[in-house]
Chain A
Amino acid sequence: MPYESVLNRRGFLGLAAAGATAAVLPGCAGETASSTGGQPRSGGRLRAAFAGGGAAEVLDPHKTSLYVEIARAKALFDKLADYGSDMTPQPRLAERWEPSADLRTWRITLRQATFHDGRPVRARDVLASFARIVEPGSTFRAKSSLAVIDLANSRAIDDRTVEFRLKRPYAEFPNALATIGTAIIPEGTTNFDRPIGSGPFKFSSFAPGRSFVATRNPDYWDGTPYLDELEIVVTNDEAARVNALLGRQVEYAHDLTPTSARTHEQSGQLQVHRLPLSNFQGLAMKVDRPPFNRPELRQALFHLVDRDELVRSVFQGSGQLCNDLYGKGYRYYAGSLPQRNQDLDRARALVKQAGAEGMTIDFDTSEASTGLKEAALAISDQARKIGLNLNVKLGTKDTYWADIAKNGVLASYRSGGMPLESHISQRLLTTSTTNNTKWQRPGFDALYYQAQSTTDEARRAELYLQIQQQLFDEGGFLWWGVSDWIVASASNVNGISAQAPANTLDWARYDKVWLA
């Protein structure tokens, strides 16, 4: 008997925190573009299909790493802040925040909100939640983002005021409060079999890898949700998600391919939403080892890549080209730099300068995320035109991110949206935990810390420009494009934001969704 596997684990959100559309859309949190309009009405049940992680899925909101886990955590819990559609952190459970002049002490005022069991959300719950995440020996995702907090010297001033003491000046501290996996849980929670949060829906039932049901929280501080009930079902097969939607077994399908979108958007049977600026795609070149320790060779690749061809063939038009820098359209993005285009002569000359003519270079890729392999194949074909042989090696998708962190010289890379500050601190500082390009330069680190130590907004913008100019000239990342995140819904579903990138506040925000 022949066997075939089709389980393409697309569930991982990738190196994502959040993101939004600063320049494009100066909106505010909570703005939702309803699709067919009309007066929102209450009632009904929404069934949403996501890719998932099977029997290993959990409801612990600090352990979230799959999109489906984040969507469930979002239904049940709140964070202090979340990324709004204008890219900056938007206050959520935090009503407002005020830094001290040295940017090392932050006073957070909490909103009046209650957990599902009626207890109020207090400052102590916030401190306990963060203590759980950063305690020694914990392995939570947000640990490195919250490590900047000096918890021993932070305190609850009263029930609704927290004062955080930081280990260093941090002008964009609210970014950390909006990071994935920083949900506020009631103090003392250890068991998440029947989780209690402060979110828009109350827990009802959960079968790992299959389904999750939650009911409306009528006392939600941000307005009562319209839906009576939310059900999230799991299937890793994209075709199955589309078929379930077409067969009216679900009303919302998350994460579709551009091909499916093209197939069904004309038929009028369903609505397709392309969430822009969601998924950055690029190459990671390791600058600490041959051959990419030669800046000329990195620049050769900058001039080699035909970004238009990649957007056309890999994204099938569902996305846009980038300028090798991360965070197009986000706050502090250096949009003023000239757009690079393919220049084969220049690339050839640079290869020659680097002494790399006719060189064979291993190019790691995998199916860990959609499009990685396709882009690698296309770039390898493009490289042949300048006499570089990029030998595409398909790695194991399950361990891909750890493999390329340590080994190899050139790898396919992707990232979800997150503020520029998070991108830099997680990947480009000497101390970064996932510094995949091995970009470790004290001078560069200093620029970042300067930017975080100044209260002067204009000065910070200028420092960000300097940082990005360095990366643009000789960095190890080559971000060639950013694709849309595609979700689809039945025609009677309203209130889905079409502008919110994946993982921002308005993505998978079911409290604002209503059924016509």
Chain B
Amino acid sequence: MRVARRYAVPGVLVRRYAVPGMLVAVPVLLALVGPVIASDDTTKDVAFVLGGGHWFGTDFVGRDVWNEVLLGGRSLVVVAVVATVCTYLIAVPVGLVAGMTRNRLLDEAVMRPLDLLLAVPSMLMLLLLASVAPGIPWVLIGVVVLINLPDVVRISRAAALSVSARPAVEAMRLQGESRIRIGLGYVARAMRRTLAADLGTRFTGAIYLVASASFLGVGVSPQTSDWAAMVDRNRTGLFVQPWAVVLPALLIVMLSIGVNLAFDRWLRDRAMEGVAR
């Protein structure tokens, strides 16, 4: 009851989510608003200088780092979010079905083709696809989804399996509840902690796949600015002009920690709510 009452107070809610909220809001706002306020002046200065009329110095080709940061968030946030969401939209239902079904053939029919995909070394897949179809964001999103799909399916299947073996599920089944109801109503809800723990890191992983892909020449064209690509392209100057790496890296770290913390908080609150009820 105490927990439930806390929710009635908006101030508490704000306080509980202030930190993760801030962590997420700053990079997301920069990503969304940045391209609007960025300047389109393209004059090049000396590469990797500190100061010299630039707030955060210049990057590997002498562009203004702050301007690049303003321009570089949108593509990254969009690709990482879309890829992660797509992965989960496909993987969780599949994993749920495979984990809950009592039909071994169905389980095998779902899992073995995925094993095939899993057995294709992901680095090899990225390298090959990067070279075959460079420069298209949808290809990049597709590759990130393909690489993560088997993992998430396996994890959700494993989670579903252990949940559906619980006596509660057994009881529901005996009471004649439909598979779908049990699946969505109980098993999926019980899996969410495992999945949320995975989702946060998966999102971060997607961001860095974007970075490696940009390095390999897929997804991010050299003309567009991108935080993940900045981290990679400017690394030679890490010790002369750290901002060109640190600033985008910091934004990525903020975004990643923010998303993960928000999920953790939300889960804990839901859990407490559940207990209180």
Contacts and interface: CB of A to CB of B under 8 A. Distances in A.
A239 B123 CA distance: 22
Nearest to B42: A381
A2 B206 CA distance: 7
A56 interface: no
B123 A259 contact: no
B236 A259 contact: yes
Interface stretch (A180-188, A388-396, A478-486): A388-396
A380 B223 CA distance: 9
A260 B135 CA distance: 30
B208 A2 contact: yes
Given A259-B237, A260-B236, A312 B45 contact: yes
Interface string A313-333: 110110000000000000000
A309 B236 contact: no
B155 to A, nearest CB: 13
Interface residues of A, number: 38
Contact of A5 (B134, B207, B216): B216
Max count, chain A CB within 10 A of own CB: residue among B47, B204, B215? B47
Given A3-B126, A396-B131, A396-B217, A263 B240 contact: yes
A397 B217 CA distance: 9
Interface in A301-355: 309, 312-314, 316-317
Contacts of B44: 309, 312-313, 378, 381
B123 A312 contact: no
Contact of A374 (B60, B131, B216): B60
A262 interface: yes
A374 B63 CA distance: 11
A313 B62 contact: yes
Contacts of A384: 42
Interface of B: 42-48, 60-62, 122-123, 126-127, 131, 134-135, 204-209, 211-212, 215-217, 221-223, 232, 235-237, 239-240
4 smallest A-B Cβ distances: which pairs?
A2-B208, A313-B62, A381-B42, A4-B212
25 contacts: A1-B205, A2-B205, A2-B212, A3-B123, A3-B126, A3-B208, A3-B212, A5-B123, A5-B212, A5-B216, A6-B215, A6-B232, A259-B240, A263-B239, A312-B45, A313-B44, A316-B47, A317-B46, A374-B61, A378-B62, A380-B223, A381-B44, A394-B221, A394-B222, A396-B134
Interface of A: 1-6, 238-239, 257-260, 262-263, 309, 312-314, 316-317, 365-367, 373-374, 376-378, 380-381, 384, 392-398
Given A316-B48, A377-B222, 17 more contacts: A1-B205, A2-B208, A3-B122, A3-B209, A4-B232, A5-B123, A5-B215, A5-B216, A259-B47, A260-B236, A309-B62, A313-B45, A314-B61, A373-B222, A374-B61, A377-B223, A396-B131
